[in-house]
Homo-oligomer: A and B are copies of this chain.
Amino acid sequence: MVNVKNFEQLPTKEKILRVSADIIVNEGLRKFTARNVAERLGITDAAIFKHFKSMDDIIFEIIERYVSRCSRSADEAEKTEKSVKERLYQILRTHINVLEETKGAVPVLCFEFLRSDDKKFYRILKEFIESYKRKVGDLIREGQSEGVIKKGIDPEGTAMLFIGLIQAKVFAYLLDGKKGKIVDDPEQFISEIFYGILEKDDRDEEVEVKSR
């Protein structure tokens, strides 16, 4: 159920956030009600409002948390001295790690809130994806000018393709009853993407960066 690890010892505010995320991801927004959250924690619904101003406030904090985690990891990769290919690898790899740790929460949250007309949520998520697209896109462009990435491909389009492929993986995972990992074999997954974009003479070369 919830990402357990001394869950009981956590402060209530924290528990509310985790249970809420779990409900939204695994049961949908319609089940995300004060009553349902409180019930899981063995408290009353009124107690929720001692910790959060409103239900939307909870959502806001969940999005903030998950999204910032993904962004941070992409920023770190950007700063290193490594080669384009290694940096790209690192971004993809961390992205998959976060995805796995959060059980697909971010794609699900994106899917839910990108649709709402609630500008508050829409903006922050859209911004997140745009910045991701920009970072990966820039990296691809850099790779193209260095000659390691195929000239023909569209940088932003490829960044979006990657997001789309992750989305597809999450979909398959949900369909399969949320068993096991979302991306079975990350190395294979990444190498398939690389196969499509790297210049041919590079494609059989192993990527030597270690995961994490």
Q: Which residues in A have some Cβ–Cβ distance to B below 8 Å?
A: 25-31, 108, 110-117, 126, 129, 160-161, 163-165, 167-169, 171-172, 174-175
A128, chain B: closest CB distance, angstroms: 11
Point out the residue from B27, B28, B126, B171 that lies within 8 Å of A175, measured CB to CB.
Answer: B126
Secondary structure at the A interface, as helix, strand, loop or mixed, is helix
Point out the residue from B29, B113, B165 that lies within 8 Å of A168, measured CB to CB.
Answer: B165
Q: Is the CB of B171 within 8 A of A111?
A: yes
Point out the residue from B27, B126, B164 that lies within 8 Å of A115, measured CB to CB.
Answer: B27
With A161-B168, A164-B168 already in contact, the answer to whether A174 and B30 are too (CB < 8 A) is no
Copy count, this protein chain: 2
A59, chain B: closest CB distance, angstroms: 11
Q: Is the CB of B26 within 8 A of A115?
A: yes
* 15 residue pairs A–B, Cβ–Cβ below 8 Å: A26-B116, A28-B112, A29-B30, A30-B30, A31-B116, A108-B111, A108-B115, A110-B175, A111-B171, A114-B171, A114-B174, A160-B168, A163-B171, A164-B165, A164-B172
With A116-B31, A117-B27 already in contact, the answer to whether A167 and B171 are too (CB < 8 A) is yes
A191, chain B: closest CB distance, angstroms: 15
**What B residues does A169 contact at CB under 8 A?**
164
